[in-house]
Structure 1
Amino acid sequence: MAFHPEPVTIGLLFSQTGVTSVIERTQRQAAMLAVEEINDAGGIDGREILIEDSDPASDPVRFKSEAERLIDVGATTIFGCYMSSTRKAVLPVVEQRRALLFYPTLYEGFEFSSSCVYSGAAPNQNSRWLADYLTDTYGDRFVFVGSNYVFPYESNRIMRDLLLHRGAQVLDEVYIPLRHNEDYIERAIARIKAAGPAVVFSTVVGEGSVRFYQAYDRAGFDRSVQPIASLTTGEPELLEVGKDASIGNVTAAPYFSVLKTEANLRFVAAYHRRFGPDHPISAGTEAAYFQVHLFAEAVRRAGATDRDSVLRSLPTFSYEAPQGAVQVEEATHHTSLWPRVAVVGENGQFEIVREAAAPVKPDPYLIEYDKEFQLAAPRTGTRGSTQ
């Protein structure tokens, strides 16, 4: 295939090593798959996409330096970052250099950057849905356990408000260092036991989430009435956790790999052909995939690759992603997505128990959130899982 002599160079900024590499490796692979699909179809109007790769190793300082290096070698559009601490390290770089970051991970909201496209879920697209499902299904008592960095603190603040608006109570809030040891996890388990019967809302990420879920299983909690619920624990983490320790736990996300949409069946088949049938796919993986396709289509329509041209083009079309049709909003640079809640079934796979009938527009500042809700008295008692 003969390509136009001027390629389009992009940068990948995903950790291949470090505490969050369990998910970031899948995001990197998904971005690579999208590039291969676009190039196999003739590139962007005949222009081949070239990749400049990196391994920032889950370290915010290295994310910043690697972003600078990628831009220096001509990759002025970067796809990457997982933890909010890494995104916040990269944003000043892309803003100062008039480059563009596509960020494929859910996050805590309350942010706008002229140099960032947010294709993961904002709080109204996952936290609100999870709060509704948990209080409808399991009752009114909660314990928060999170990793010790930006996202868990802010996500817990939002979830606390959502739960209080639903008449629930948060009994305790515990944080585990990103580079933890088993003592920290066992102390968290002891505090959960001390709180009495309660649902655990977990914002523990990466390797820590795997160890935490396994410890929770060993402690013998009945997950049919006292599950771990999360926004961050998807298929890659559950594969590491193991089936027995995963059953009954809950996750809210715009995408699960069990979806039967035509676009998802094609995506899952292509991903497994390329990387192997045992490689898991999560919401972060899917977002890393579709945002490359969004970028390519925006460049086609704009006829240019600079930041401002791409940002003007993105809101003018929708893309049929594996989760459903998605579209970037002009005012916020966030993406309309399809909220879903799923419970891990007896086969160790997610089973979707609640989902949106249409894409939900992002509300990163929660301007509309719960405005119709009248503060209720705390619920009493719990009900079993409806999975």
Structure 2
Amino acid sequence: MNFRMTVSALALSLAAGAAFAQSGEPIKVGVLHSLSGTMAISETTLKDVMLMLVEEQNKKGGVLGRPLEAVVVDPASDWPLFAEKARELIQVSGVDVVFGCWTSVSRKSVLPVFEELNSILFYPVQYEGEESQRNVFYTGAAPNQQAIPAVDYLRDVESVERWVLAGTDYVYPRTTNKILEAYLQSLGVAPEDIMINYTPFGHSDWQTIVSDIKAFGSAGKKTAVVSTINGDANVPFYKELANQGISAEDIPVVAFSVGEEELAGLDTGPLVGHLAAWNYFMSVDTPENDEFIEAWQAFIGSEERVTNDPMEAHYIGFNMWVKAVEAAGTTDTDAVIDAMVGVAVPNLSGGFSAMMPNHHITKPVLVGEIQADGQFETVWETSGLVPGDAWSDYLPESAKIMSDWQAPMSCGNFNVETGQCGGLNQ
């Protein structure tokens, strides 16, 4: 064989290899979001955005020269079923990564599965903190990236003195309100100026509770509701506020789980002026956000469909995962986990969000006022990005805990007083 023929054969071989790589075994991406039940109002959109992100990445050539394949399951707002579906994704479908969960109770349900099977979960929703698990990357807000700044805004800008902490009865609202109660008392707020209330998922009869809130707010001190109410219970809650004549001027509500998607199903008239604290709003004016909205509405086939904060968290988390896999040169769990720390990708509010050693990311914090069109007008924001704290400084048992998954510490709950790892959730 002469030199020219050898070169030609080599070129053909390389071309065939490249073609094989592009059409090789797909990398499977698990999508674990409720498509039915009380949380479908919030989670269905997250399934859709994951399908969009996978499709867009495939147009770019996939990852490591291989196509991505989304594997979707429906845990149906059934918390134990989340664990079963996570196991199915990892063991039966063979996914390399999972993006999913909304409520903290669903996340808590799947943690043992991801630890046992050594797989990776990207969790995109604000949560209560008090956790740092090696197999989980938390791209939603920790309390210091949402709840604490929201209280600061209400106190400093709205001059609020009395506080209603209203939540759905599960771990996220209870732990967040425990942190907020301790934080408020550290600021000198008297216990009698804090009212705490919990209701079940899907709660619909708000008349008595709203009456209690109205009475609590009639003591001559500016009162606000800090809402960790989740899912479709928000619809009758805001309706009852309006029925009893409670406006945003009287008793403002700042919500942590009401975004553009939830507002799309409501008569927003009575909600105008109420607030939400997030790390992203659809109304953010940046080129990155304009491009994301355009891609989303084209994918979903409607210019009426909105974007929201957990969607941006999936956008950030997915792009971080792609970058880490490419840096590691493999989808192997241990290699990807090691490669994730320090990865920085653009967020949609401007600038870059980075993955920290505690598996939380840096995020801006925004407070938005609900507008008649169901969008938010940003009325306050942090001056820069806020690093997520896995463990709250306001709870004595966790103030002494730190998380760092890099060697040599490699611990999610290192006690700085004892110098030991362990004793709380890892």
Q: What is the rounded CA distance, in whole Å, between the counterparts of 2:244 and 2:250 in structure 1?
A: 15
1:210 alignment partner in structure 2: 235
Asked if the contact 2:165–2:197 (Cα under 8 Å) also holds between the matched residues in 1, the reply is: yes
| Cα 1:307/1:205, change in 2 over 3 Å | same
1:279 aligns with 305
Larger Rg: 2
Q: Partner residue of 1:25?
A: 44
Cα RMSD (Å) of the superposition?
1.9
Q: Which shows bigger deviation, 6-15 or 86-95?
A: 6-15
Equivalent residue number for residue 366 of structure 1: 392
- Identity, % of aligned pairs? 32
Q: 2:133 matched to which residue of 1?
A: 113
Does the Cα contact within 8 Å between 1:70 and 1:76 map onto a contact in 2?
no
CA contact (8 A) 2:90 2:119 kept: yes
Shift of 1:347: 4.3
1:34 and 1:348 map into 2 onto residues whose CA distance is 25
Determine the C-alpha separation between the residues in 2 that align with 1:181 and 1:356: 35
Take 1:236 and 1:242, find their aligned partners in 2: how far apart are those partners?
A: 13
Are 2:65 and 1:36 equivalent residues in the alignment? no
Secondary structure at the aligned position of 2:122 is classed as strand
Q: Could you tell me the TM-score, scaled by structure 1's length?
A: 0.91
TM-score, scaled relative to structure 2: 0.83
Candidates 212, 215, 221, aligned match of 1:191: 212
* 91-100 or 354-363: bigger deviation: 354-363
CA gap 1:368/1:311 in 2 versus in 1, 3 angstroms: farther
Matches within 5 A, 1:368-387: none
Deviations 1:2-24 (A, max 9, x none): 52412211110001111111111
Deviates most, 89-98 or 38-47: 38-47
Displacement after TM superposition at 1:368 (Å): 8.5
Runs of 5+ consecutive residues of structure 1 not aligned to the other structure: 372-387
- Of structures 1 and 2, the one scoring higher in RCO (CA 8 A, sep 6+) is 1
1:148 maps onto 2:169 in alignment:
yes
Q: Distance in 2 between matches of 1:9 and 1:151?
A: 30
CA distance in 2, matches of 1:45, 1:196: 58
The answer to whether the Cα contact below 8 Å between 1:145 and 1:188 also exists between their aligned partners in 2 is no
Q: Specify the alignment match of 1:327 in structure 2.
A: 354
- 1:123 aligns to 2:143 (yes or no): yes
Work out which of the residue numbers 150, 158, 181 in structure 2 matches 1:160: 181
SS in 1 for 2:227: strand
- Secondary structure at the counterpart of residue 53 of structure 1: strand
- Residues 202, 231 of structure 2: 8 Å contact kept: no
Match runs of 1:50-69 below 5 Å: 50-69=69-88
Aligned residues: 368
Distance in structure 2 (CA, Å) of the matches to 1:303 and 1:320? 22
Match of 2:365 in 1: 339
Q: Residue 211 of structure 1 contacts residue 241 of structure 1 at CA under 8 Å; is this kept in 2?
A: no
Aligned to 1:350: 376
Q: Deviations over 1:254-293 (max 9, x none)?
A: 1111011111111111111111222222111111222111
AA matched with 2:366? R
Q: Secondary structure at the match of 1:142?
A: strand
- State the match for 2:245 in structure 1: 220
Q: Does 1:102 align with 2:122?
A: yes
Q: Which residue of structure 2 aligns with residue 382 of structure 1?
A: none
CA deviation profile, 1:180-233 (whole Å, cap 9, x unmatched)? 232xx2221121122134211111110001221121122111212411111111
- CA–CA distance in structure 2, aligned partners of residues 245 and 308 of structure 1: 50
Instruction: Work out whether residues 204 and 237 of structure 2, in 8 Å CA contact, stay in contact via their aligned partners in 1.
Output: no
C-alpha displacement of 1:140: 0.5
